[in-house]
A and B are shown apart, each in its own frame.
Chain A
Amino acid sequence: MHIPDGYLSPATCAVGYVGMLPIWATAVKKVKKTLNSKLIPLMVIGSAFSFVIMMFNVPIPGGTTAHAVGGGILAVLLGPWAAAICVSTALAIQALMFGDGGIFCYGFNCFNMAVVIPFVTWFIYQRMAGKTEVTSSKRWIWGAIGSYIAINVAACCNGTELGLQPLLFHTAQGVPLYCPYPIWVSVPAMLLAHALMAGPVEAIVTGLVTRYFQVTNPSVIVDQIAAKVEPVKAAFNKLWFVIIGLIVLVPLGLLAPGGAFGEGSADDIKAALGYVPAGLAALGDRYHALLQDYGVPNSPFSADAPDLFHQSVGYYVAAVVGIAVIAGLTLLISKLIASKEAGNQQGH
């Protein structure tokens, strides 16, 4: 479910971060209120735990294995807010250390895996089994069902984020710039994979670990930090604002000036949204006028008009010079740094 960089347009990535900022801020505020100085140690160990259980190979029928996200079980053990912090941290380490999931797409990766999974699991688990006995089998069953549903909801979100890309960002010739599959392909594809593979794995993990604690140490489930943090309903009321905000922001983010890079031409946006904001139309015209002044040569993929050839020669010369300058300066700076470090070492 980790989206690598390059699959989402920069405008979409920005929306992901903007949506996540209030969630992270609220999560820290809420968890800190109950934990005080224990916040850092518990979140640190929780994050490390989250990272490590993502690496566990869970055997599934047929002799193969799969990995769980672990957002569901963390929500049952820690509550959704703390789980959101822990999974976000684990995802950051995966992105930075192993390149699992992009740095730009981190916002949306966190939204899907660190917010949707824990909150949906928690909501279902708490609604259906929150008032039962600690050892009641309802708890592990609803924990499992909750995380199965949660991971599928997350897959839907993931598919939507990916599926919006080709509708909004493609070149004039219809070449998709980012993820090429439209929403009616990406959502069913993600759902199928998660309903059959990742969903059952997540459910098994949440169910078995909850069951383990019910048998060996029920206090872990009773003493949830979560229970003290915030009543479920209030937590959900706040989250809805963020989700609605995100839904509003997705198209807005695409129309923001940064979206000009994404370059859905005015017609594309008209096709997607049904109208063209006036400012965008003006901006688009100016942009094209600018390029026409420079005599834009065609793409190497389209048939080059011969009279454009002379103009493109100039660009190729400029490109070659530019490349030489970039390469030369890179080498020069690396030499400078090397000599400086050698100097530093002699100085010590």
Chain B
Amino acid sequence: MCETDVFRPRGGKVRRSFVEKTIDGFSQVLMNDFYAERIAASRGLMQGLHPGSKVVTTLLLILVAVCLRSWPALVLLNLWILLLAYVSAVPLLTFLKRVWLVVPVFTGVVVLPTIFNVVLPGDPLLVLFHFSGGGHHFGPWMLPNVLAITKQGVHGAVIFVLRVGACVSLSVLLTLTTRWTYLMRGLSMIKIPTLFTMILEMTYRYIYVLLNSASEMFLARKSRTVGKTSTREKQRFVGSAMGVLWAKSIVLSDEVHAAMISRGYRGTPRTLANFKLRRLDWFWAVFTALAGIMLLGGDRLVS
């Protein structure tokens, strides 16, 4: 590979090749998973809850977050989620980094243009610039006299970022504190067909088998390439790698099928359901529902 395009002495900027990026991406998945597994195994509020109760309450809180529309209510919800993370042994710094470094960057950039009056008309909050030739029409769009940050724009953007942040933190909290197999039990409790939860559960396992295969392919490629390669050549490698992976996958699927058949599989999935809802789980669900209603009520009063 052109590892010379990794090192650029003049620009001083290091750019990684697609091979390295892909291998990094793969190991990131593994690291993420080990990390989540460790948190899921520690003791805390969310870990102690029945997966069914946890899935239902998380969905409920996401619904609340999506329905909220005043910033104080959204800030409160976010603070409550942080408290939940804290009592669930999730390191707060990591949690904050995962949610509040990522969301403002992506979602914030998306909504940023809407705070200006040229994109979304509104009452000016801060005038940045006076146009000399304002009032011109370009088709349906009119150039205003001033460039300003609008009240409505800032209001909307703040609410939007807070809401997306709340939704993301809730799903991060759920997956950090729940093992995949337990999560699938939780999903089947809300009447998601066993067929789907079983496919999800097994897919999760085989992702690692395929990731390993793919990672070896990329590593092998990296270790035997010297010099410069054209984009076309690189693309051909990615195409072939996918092809090889597919061929391997088909063989693997036949093997898995044979293994399932030999263990008595007849075409209908069965699972061992060994979780029981305790009083505490019910209590938690009711409490979350009440808290959600309270937040929504308060939200409607101030918005």
Contacts and interface: CB of A to CB of B under 8 A. Distances in A.
Nearest to A319: B298
A292 B62 CA distance: 28
Contacts of A7: 164
Given A37-B260, A42-B257, A95-B171, A331 B87 contact: yes
Contacts of A217: 247
B246 interface: yes
B104 interface: no
B70 interface: yes
Contacts of B221: none
A199 interface: no
B168 to A, nearest CB: 5
A207 B254 CA distance: 26
B171 A315 contact: no
B13 to A, nearest CB: 11
B43 interface: yes
- Provide the main secondary structure of the chain B interface: helix
Interface string B152-173: 1001110110011011100110
A9 B167 contact: no
Interface in B170-224: 171-172, 174-175, 180, 183, 195-196, 198-200, 202-204, 206-207, 209-211, 214
Contacts of A175: 152, 155-156, 159
B239 A41 contact: no
Contacts of B171: 5, 95-96, 99, 102-103
B240 A47 contact: no
Interface stretch (A176-184, A238-246, A270-278): A176-184
A144 B211 CA distance: 25
A93 B235 contact: no
B96 interface: no
A40 B243 contact: no
Contacts of A322: 294, 298
Given A4-B167, A171-B69, A208-B240, A49 B84 contact: no
A103 B71 CA distance: 22
A107 interface: no
Interface of A: 4-7, 9-10, 13, 24, 28, 36-49, 51-53, 55-61, 63, 65, 73, 77, 85, 89-90, 92-93, 95-99, 102-104, 171, 173-178, 180-181, 204-205, 207-209, 211-213, 216-217, 220, 261, 263, 291, 294, 296-297, 299-301, 315, 318-319, 322-323, 326-327, 329-331, 333-334, 336-338, 340-341
Cβ-closest 9 pairs across A and B: A208-B239, A337-B48, A5-B167, A212-B243, A334-B45, A6-B164, A45-B253, A334-B87, A41-B257
